[in-house]
Amino acid sequence: MKYKTILMFGAPGSGKGTHGKILGAIPGFIHCSCGEVFRNLSPETPLGKIFVEYSSRGELVPDQVVLDMVREELVTAKEAGGGFVLDGIPRNMHQARAAYLIGRELGMTADVALHLQADDEELMRRLLARAALEHRSDDTTEIIAQRLAVYDAVTSPIVAWYRDRGILVSVDAMRSAHQVGREILTALEAMRPFLDHVPGQVPHSVDLTSLGDAFGVSQPG
């Protein structure tokens, strides 16, 4: 695969972690989940305390904290000489623009912004199921509803920004993980011919959210 940097974003429960790990398993790629990085921090550390404080209210971690972490991960990936799959960022337009500037500075601007789409009812079902399985205190009905509301308000507008840049890949994440994974790989393959576009030209965006039964699926998975 020819990509250097793939950004993966979507609402909580849309499957970013699952599909980020799959793409990160491609030889030469490093996967970083912003959520996992913060959840694995000790709550006794300064960063861990910040994460617990905000996540317990269903709010986003402050931008600068997230961006500092992203810079560190990008530097690590660049030193390793491979590709990079980052899921969970950007969460708002400030993060999107700042991440672009960091990537440009390091020579690792995103080749693809992969957007996983699913409706709120399905996301709520998934997150409540995950909460019961993993005993996660930050996944109550009230907090989930707040997180989804925050996502709709501050994250959705970045879709148009990536579309204008010509690097957006939109995938319907309502299906089973297997079906969504196949669709992601199909979309990435569709993007590859446009990676070496002439500077100054918009490459191309891919929207596979309306393929319907193209993958043999009639019901959400």
> What phi and psi, each to the nearest 5 degrees, are found at residue 219?
-125, 145
Q: What is the pLDDT of residue 3?
A: 54
Residues 6+ apart with CB under 8 A from 198: none
Strands in 29-33's sheet, in edge-to-edge order, are 29-33, 83-87, 5-10, 112-117, 168-172, 206-207
d(CA 59, CA 81) in angstroms, rounded, equals 34
Strands (E), 118-167: none
This prediction has a pTM of 0.78
Residue with tokens 């400030």: 94
Output the tens digit of pLDDT for each of the chain's 221 residues: 455 789 999 999 999 989 999 988 888 888 888 878 877 878 888 878 888 888 788 777 888 888 888 888 888 888 887 788 998 888 889 999 999 999 999 888 888 999 999 999 999 999 999 989 988 776 889 989 998 998 888 877 888 899 988 899 999 999 999 999 999 988 888 777 655 543 444 445 666 564 443 333 333 33
Q: What is the pLDDT of residue 209?
A: 62
Residue with tokens 């810079």: 71
Give which of 14, 147, 150, 139 is closest to 87, Cα–Cα. 14
Q: What is the pLDDT of residue 44?
A: 82
Residues 6+ apart with CB under 8 A from 99: 7, 67, 70, 89, 90, 110
- Copy the structure tokens of residue 217: 């699926």
Q: What is the pLDDT of residue 202?
A: 45
CA-derived radius of gyration, the chain: 17
Give which of 191, 5, 33, 201 is closest to 103, Cα–Cα. 5
d(CA 90, CA 99) in angstroms, rounded, equals 8
Q: Per the CATH hierarchy, to which homologous superfamily does domain 5-207 belong? A: P-loop containing nucleotide triphosphate hydrolases (3.40.50.300)
216: left (phi over 0), alpha (psi -120 to 50) or beta: left
d(CA 51, CA 201) in angstroms, rounded, equals 40
Burial (0-12, 13-18, 19+ Cβ within 10 Å), 107: exposed
Q: What is the pLDDT of residue 7?
A: 92
Residues 6+ apart with CB under 8 A from 61: 38, 50, 51, 54, 55
> Domain ranges in the chain?
5-207
d(CA 18, CA 24) in angstroms, rounded, equals 10
